[in-house]
């Protein structure tokens, strides 16, 4: 389970189940456990106004350097 935070204000954005190795490029919506973001059209934003990513339907494409994350990868799925 990863905790994804805003790189500007450090507020929690998502609790996300990451599966597999590699970087976090996008978040699949069905793997988001908790969502603390706001939406303006297709844009996904933190409460501070920092744009985190873009809604692409089944997933959210994340912007590099707009977030930080911490946690462990789920190797069972």
Q: pTM higher than 0.75 for the full model?
A: yes
Give domain limits for the chain: 2-71
What tokens were used for 61?
């494409």
What is the C-alpha to C-alpha distance for residues 77 and 73, in angstroms, rounded to an integer? 10
Local confidence pLDDT in tens for the 77 residues of the chain: 899 999 999 999 999 999 888 888 999 999 999 999 999 999 999 999 999 999 999 999 999 999 999 988 766 65
Per-residue pLDDT at 37: 96
What pLDDT score does 15 carry?
Answer: 95
Quote the pLDDT of residue 77. Answer: 53
Q: Which residues contact 1 (CB under 8 A, 6 or more apart)?
A: 15, 16, 17, 18, 33, 71, 72, 74
């Amino acid at each position: 389970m990863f905790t994804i935070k805003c790189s500007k204000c450090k507020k929690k954005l998502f609790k996300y189940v990451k599966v597999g190795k590699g970087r976090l490029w996008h978040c699949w919506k069905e793997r988001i456990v908790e969502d603390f973001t706001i939406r303006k059209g297709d844009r996904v934003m933190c409460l501070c106004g920092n744009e985190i990513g873009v809604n692409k339907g089944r997933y959210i494409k994340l912007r590099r350097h707009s977030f930080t994350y911490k946690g462990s990868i789920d190797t069972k799925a």
